[in-house]
Amino acid sequence: MERGFGAARAVLAAIVGVALSCGAALAQVEPPLRLPGTIEKVEGDTIWVRPYEGGGLFEIALDKKLAVYGVAPGKLADLKQGAFIGVGAMPQADGSQRAMQITVFAESQRGLGEGFRPWDRAPGTTMTNATIDTTVAGVDGRTLTVKYKGGEQKIVVPPDVVILDYVSGDRSELKTGAHVMVPVVKRKLDGSLGADRINVGRDGVIPR
């Protein structure tokens, strides 16, 4: 009887050990990482990116179906009815959002991150990804009404707002010295990094 109990304890200990090992492996998998930086090396389907804040190089394997988007300077005329945009803004006392940066997405990105949420650029700021419903010109700029599933926001657009346009790009733009932003860096179970989308700056734009 005692021998059987000892065997049972051994089996239980082995099961617990396996469970703890699996838990440790899962614990090493970090959440997605947003990475703005400069490409320092390109080798086949792998790039090495150095973050603007420093901290060493990140070796990133590029997905076979990698999507590349060029980020170019935009203009007020790009803010037209039906355009899908992302607005980084500061909330105003009247409930509106005063735009700090507006990104006009490529048509293939329509619906990306749709909604209203906090923005990590500065304390108290917001991000709205939505479709322009109406636009009205005014003395101090223009006002947009943007709509997303479940809500809408009034966006005040000052004349000096930063406007960026996303356009379809290709892998040839991922070269040494290019300014890029990897929206989601995926850390795999083996510790390696991968990406299926990269934004690359054009005409002096540094995507962040």
Residues 87-100: tens digit of each pLDDT: 999 999 999 999 99
Answer whether residue 57 shows pLDDT above 80. Answer: yes
- Tell me the backbone φ, ψ of residue 86, rounded to 5 degrees: -120, 130
In the chain, % of residues over pLDDT 90? 74
The number of beta carbons lying within 10 Å of the beta carbon of residue 1 is 5
Q: Are residue 71 and residue 169 in the same domain, yes or no?
A: yes
What is the Cα gyration radius of the chain?
A: 23
Contact between 112 and 171 (Cβ < 8 Å):
no
Please state, rounded to an integer, the average pLDDT across all residues of the chain: 86
What mean pLDDT comes out for the span 21-47?
A: 72
Cα separation values, 96 from 70, 92, 93, 102, Å: 30, 5, 7, 15
Distance CA(180)–CA(198), nearest Å, equals: 7
Q: Are residue 38 and residue 18 in the same domain, yes or no?
A: no
Q: Are residue 41 and residue 62 in the same domain, yes or no?
A: yes
Q: Are residue 4 and residue 76 in the same domain, yes or no?
A: no
Q: Are residue 25 and residue 52 in the same domain, yes or no?
A: no
Q: Are residue 191 and residue 207 in the same domain, yes or no?
A: yes
First CA to last CA distance, the chain? 67
Residue-wise burial string across 23-34, b where 16 or more C-beta atoms lie within 10 A, e elsewhere: eeeeeeeeeeee
165-197 pLDDT, tens per residue?
999 999 999 999 999 999 999 988 888 999 999
Q: Are residue 118 and residue 138 in the same domain, yes or no?
A: yes
Question: Residue 20 has what pLDDT?
Answer: 42
Distance CA(188)–CA(113), nearest Å, equals: 23
- Tell me the backbone φ, ψ of residue 46, rounded to 5 degrees: -130, 135
What mean pLDDT comes out for the span 107-122?
A: 93
Sign of the torsion angle spanned by Cα atoms 78, 80, 83, 88: positive
pTM of the shown model: 0.77
Question: Residue 120 has what pLDDT?
Answer: 84
Domain total in the chain: 2
Residue 95 carries which DSSP code? S
Q: Are residue 26 and residue 41 in the same domain, yes or no?
A: no
What mean pLDDT comes out for the span 49-77?
A: 93
Helix segments in the chain, DSSP class H: 2-27
Q: Are residue 49 and residue 115 in the same domain, yes or no?
A: yes
Answer whether residue 150 shows pLDDT above 50. Answer: yes
Answer whether residue 37 shows pLDDT above 70. Answer: yes
Residues 6+ apart with CB under 8 A from 178: 38, 39, 200, 201
Which residue range(s) make up the domain with 12? 1-30
Q: Are residue 114 and residue 69 in the same domain, yes or no?
A: yes
Q: Are residue 74 and residue 120 in the same domain, yes or no?
A: yes
Question: Residue 161 has what pLDDT?
Answer: 94
Which residue, chain included where needed, has tokens 């990269």?
Answer: 198
Which of 158, 14, 15, 172 has the alpha carbon at shortest distance from 87?
Answer: 158
Helix (H, G, I), strand (E, B) or coil at 208: coil
* Most distant CA atoms of the chain, gap in Å: 91
Q: Are residue 76 and residue 47 in the same domain, yes or no?
A: yes
